[in-house]
Amino acid sequence: ADATIARSTSGAAIDPQIRAREAIAKAMALRDKVTPRERLYIEAQAARRAPGPRDAADAAYIAGLRKLAIVNSLNIGSTRLTRLAGLGPFTFYSGGTLSIDSNMQLTTLADLAIANAPALSSLYITNNATLQDLTGLESVTAADRLTISMNNRLANLRGLSALEQLG
């Protein structure tokens, strides 16, 4: 079966979904050799790419992420979620990154439970076609980089009222 998979000269699958599944399978095989925190992240990624309905995989991914109470980087991207209920609470390390990108059905961040987000390195809110406001980001007080773009229904920036420092 492996002979039918197109591969680069380095041996990696050309198809990004196959490449992701292979990377997750390798990470799962090695998960007993990493820290408990890394293991939780690997298991969350495996849940996200599990076969079956996409909605169930997204829910399993979020359940796995909930086990990671303190994060350096959180990317919520390309899901079919309409809300982020059950995700968090999260505390970000200083210098962390929050990216919410390409969630075409996401309407609100209100359920995003960020307990503490000191001095984020980057905050990206991009390409969320139905996102209406930024409620849920009230604990963000500083960010070195801020990108908010292509959120066609975004009516205001109210959720960033505590943001005191950029750059």
- Residue 117's pLDDT is 79
Query: Could you say which DSSP state residue 98 is in?
Result: E
Query: Could you say which DSSP state residue 27 is in?
Result: H
- Residue 145's pLDDT is 96
**Residues listed for the chain:** 167
Per-residue pLDDT of 36-90, as tens digits, reads 888 888 999 899 888 888 888 888 888 888 787 778 888 999 988 898 887 777 7
Of 110 and 127, the structure prediction assigns the larger pLDDT to 127
Report the C-alpha gap between 60 and 45 in whole angstroms.
9
Residue 19 has pLDDT above 60, yes or no: yes
| Long-range pairs for 36-44: beta carbons < 8 A, 24 or more residues apart | 37/68, 40/64, 40/67, 40/68, 41/68, 44/68
- Residue 3's pLDDT is 61
CA atoms within 13 A on the CB side of 126: 9
Confidence of residue 111 (pLDDT cuts 50, 70, 90): confident
- Please list, in sequence order, all residues whose beta carbon lies within 8 angstroms of the beta carbon of residue 136, skipping any fewer than 6 positions away: 84, 108, 109, 110, 111, 112, 113, 114, 159
Per-residue pLDDT of 146-165, as tens digits, reads 999 999 999 999 899 999 99
